[in-house]
Amino acid sequence: MAIRCRNATRRRSRSVKMAAPLATCTKEEQRSVIRFLSSEGVKPIEIHQRIKVQYGDACLSLQQVYEWTGTFMNGISSVTDSPRPGQAHRGVTPESVAALEAIVKKNRRVTVKEIAAHES
């Protein structure tokens, strides 16, 4: 009769020790790691655990890891965000700053609505 050790039947999780946590990172960098590990067949929960060790609090959430893993498994390989529709951003130019200063110097009690009316 063979006696089995209880710990021998449990699945042992791989604990990966990194040299040092990364101080700075980008979302794209983390997505690249997710893409690489998911292509190797690593499960999203394990990917999250591994990047959490490396990136700490700056790590993507578990939900984001699942979403990006699914995205990469569907054949999309880009790690950058897709452009989103919305209002275009206006840049601050020296001309617009000078125009605003002129309006304020002319009337210090000018309202935001009046300034917006001058812009359009």
DSSP type of residue 20 = S
Q: Between 44-55 and 62-73, two packed helices, what is the crossing angle to 10 degrees?
A: 130
Token pair belonging to 69: 């893993």
Query: Is 26 or 86 the better-scoring residue by pLDDT?
Result: 26
Predicted model pTM:
0.55
Q: Which residue has the tokens 């990364």?
A: 22
DSSP type of residue 57 = G
Q: Could you report the per-residue pLDDT of 30-59, keeping only the tens digit for each? A: 999 999 999 999 999 999 999 999 888 889
pLDDT, residue 7, reads 44
pLDDT, residue 120, reads 61
Q: Could you report the per-residue pLDDT of 61-108, keeping only the tens digit for each? A: 999 999 999 999 998 888 988 887 877 667 778 888 898 899 999 999
